[in-house]
Amino acid sequence: MNKAPELIKYIKEKTNNDNIGKFCALIDINGYKNPVAALSTDGVGSKLHLAKYLGGQALVNIGIDLVAMCVNDIICHGATPISFLDYYVTKDLNLKESKYIIDGIIQGCELSGCRLEGGEIAEIPTLHTDDGFFDLAGFCFGLVEKENVKPKNIEEGDYIIGLKSSGIHCNGFTQLDWYDLEDSELWELITPTKIYADSCLSVMEDLNGLAHITGGGIYENVARVIPDGLCADVILPTLSSLYTKIYLGEFDYNDRDLSYYDMLNIFNCGIGMVLIVSKYSDVNFVIKYLTVIEEDVSYLGTIKEGNEKVVVKI
């Protein structure tokens, strides 16, 4: 029996979106004078295996993760999320499991202020893998006025602040041997990626740059937005208990301890988004505003002259 139509009907009922079931999503662009389209695609990596193992709410969580990983990327360029598409491939479609995932994707879209427009559900019985196999990919479409594309005008003296992560998000799971952990620790690891759309868009006029801290950690992701000749001089706040456990080897993989430098290049280490605030803005007001809207904000440092792009001090 083809179960996909039943799942599509479920999605349409949950989203009340007429695009669901069409051959493509039709997006009406209004209110932009000189729009630039922002496009991003991503998945949830090996976190999928932990979600599959736990089931139920964990599957909802990775649906949120899927949206977050794409949305958090496009807002780094100043874009407002508009639409989201998913690709869900499995050997044998499990409707109960699928509905959990779809519920998470819908929640992620609601948190991001965008619409789930549909996507692709692929049931491939000939996949050479376990019967429970599935994979997810997401695609986000956003818009930004050309003159407002970030990063821009980053200069010496700009301030660097960080928005706290909700956990390790979707990176580093291949480095963790989580199979023997207690349930409470497993549920800590499966916490969904925080979505920063509302917070970042609300202070975008004060920002010269943003960096979503995913794979590659602070070093690689902040370096993407720093112009030549400048350096992000960063002091990280104290690690959370979760990262302390990872650093001490309690979550190590194949008995290979992770050095602190390894951690900084694999995990977000407690910072999910880095914001570069213009030196002409009131950074204290920006921090206070973000705190009022329930972001956990840390002052990380400033932009200085230098050739290393990113320097992290512990």
pLDDT of residue 84: 97
pLDDT of residue 209: 98
Cα 202 from chain centre = 18
B/e letters for 80-99, b = 16+ CB within 10 Å, e = fewer, are bbbbbbbbbbbbebbeebbb
Count helices and strands in the chain by DSSP H and E runs: 10, 10
Q: 146 and 36 in contact (C-beta within 8 Å)? A: yes
Q: What is the pLDDT along the chain (314 residues), one digit of tens a residue?
A: 467 777 778 787 888 777 777 788 888 888 899 999 999 999 999 999 999 999 999 999 999 999 999 999 999 999 999 999 999 998 888 899 999 999 999 999 999 999 999 888 888 888 767 767 889 999 999 999 999 999 999 999 999 999 999 999 999 888 887 777 888 889 999 999 999 999 999 999 999 999 999 989 999 999 999 999 999 999 988 777 777 777 666 665 545 566 778 888 889 999 999 999 999 999 999 999 999 999 999 999 999 999 999 999 87
In the chain the beta strands, taken as DSSP E runs, fall at: 35-42, 80-90, 115-123, 134-145, 159-164, 207-212, 230-235, 271-277, 297-305, 309-313
Q: 145 and 34 in contact (C-beta within 8 Å)? A: yes
pTM for the whole structure: 0.93
Domains in the chain with CATH codes: 4-148 (3.30.1330.10), 159-313 (3.90.650.10)
pLDDT of residue 66: 98
In 43-180 the beta strands, taken as DSSP E runs, fall at: 80-90, 115-123, 134-145, 159-164
Whether the CA torsion 142, 71, 215, 271 is positive or negative: it is: positive
Cα 57 from chain centre = 18
Q: 309 and 225 in contact (C-beta within 8 Å)? A: no
The burial class, CB within 10 Å (0-12 / 13-18 / 19+), for 105 is buried
Is the N-terminal amide bond of 151 cis, ω within 30° of 0?
yes
pLDDT of residue 251: 65
| 192 vs 251: CA distance, rounded Å | 19
The Cα-based distances of 51 to 111, 181, 283 in angstroms read 20, 14, 39
Helices 57-74 and 47-54 pack at an angle, to 10 degrees, of 150
pLDDT of residue 257: 64
Q: Which tokens is 6 given?
A: 């039943």
Q: Tally Cβ neighbours within 10 Å of residue 169.
A: 26
